Amino acid sequence: MLARLPSERLSQFRVNRAGIALKREALDVSIEEWDVARDHAAPAPPGSDPRIASPAHPTVRTETASRMPTAPSKLAIVVRGGWDGHAPIEATDLFIPHLEANGYEVRIFDSPAPYADPDLMARTDLIMQCNTMATIARDELAGLRAAIANGTGMAGWHGGIADSYRNSSDYFQLIGAQFACHPGKDPAAITGDGPENNYVPYTVNLLPAAADHPITRGLADFDLVTEQYWVLWDRYLDVLATTTQKVRPWDEWHREITSPAIWTRRWGKGRIFVCTPGHSLDVLAHSTVHTVIERGLLWAGR
């Protein structure tokens, strides 16, 4: 074949073939360098969790070479802890891969302490919080409010965001609603003291405003059997869905009470998203609940 080519095309062919060989050689070197780096990487200390970040030695979740995503362009911090009944570690782990797949570097903390770090918060695009019945210090709250006002987004579900810091009315104002109670079954039917006594059947009703919102577009009303949150709230919420507490023969109230179940809130330059369903992992795995939370996380991010 080479003898039949004109001299100019023959020279060009040889140059191109040489270039391909050089590229192959460079690729082989790159792969070899990756293998060397991998084989000589320092092992994690015994008992450590490589996903957990500390202020002194922040670490992030990583992927294997075969699944290496595009370099993250945004930062999300996960603040999880508080009451173990809401499985904060397992619950947030359900959504961390979704953040990573959408370009987020994820750092994990077990308290609201990072909120008091102004440098970290200035770089944070999204906070995913699951921290029920905990407390927050004054400087942590001030840092959180300042960060959101400057554009950091915040998102969460159930008591991990709507019942986080009962010691702070300013946090209540920031989120816009506070868990009050979850009326349970007929007292005459209660046996033992398990959480299932608080599980009741109810419907989450999407409002007309939800039809064109990116969090709820294309979704319909849905039914659950779990804790039904009665929340205290203000009119500054942008409510996408509600749930109504019925008046049952054993209840003390005299008319139905409708509470927000999914809402958003604008605070300065920042966005806040809350979904009250999410008591347990099976509820978070419900197709509509899971979709709403995944969309809400991305909507809230800077």
Span 97-145, pLDDT tens digits:
999 999 999 999 999 999 999 999 999 999 999 999 999 999 999 999 9
Residue 72 has a pLDDT of 87
User: Is 172 or 24 the better-scoring residue by pLDDT?
Assistant: 172
**Domain residues of the chain, as ranges?**
65-300
Residue 189 has a pLDDT of 87
**pLDDT at 57 exceeding the cut of 50:** no
The whole-number average pLDDT for the span 212-217 is: 98
Band (pLDDT 50/70/90 cuts) for residue 192 is confident
**pLDDT at 264 exceeding the cut of 80:** yes
**pLDDT at 35 exceeding the cut of 90:** no
Residue 175's CB is within 10 A of a number of other CB atoms, namely: 23
**pLDDT at 6 exceeding the cut of 80:** no
Residue 130's CB is within 10 A of a number of other CB atoms, namely: 26
Closest by CA to 182, choosing from 232, 230, 223, is 230
CATH superfamily placement of domain 65-300:
Class I glutamine amidotransferase (GATase) domain (3.40.50.880)
pTM, to two decimals: 0.78
**What is the rounded CA–CA span in Å between residue 286 and residue 270?**
28
**pLDDT at 29 exceeding the cut of 90:** no
**pLDDT at 44 exceeding the cut of 70:** no
Of the listed ranges 15-19, 224-228, 298-302, the one predicted with least confidence: 15-19
The whole-number average pLDDT for the span 241-261 is: 97
Of the listed ranges 12-26, 230-244, 252-266, the one predicted with least confidence: 12-26
What is the H or E stretch that residue 28 is in? Answer: helix 7-39
Give percent above pLDDT 70 in the chain.
Answer: 77
**What is the rounded CA–CA span in Å between residue 122 and residue 117?**
9
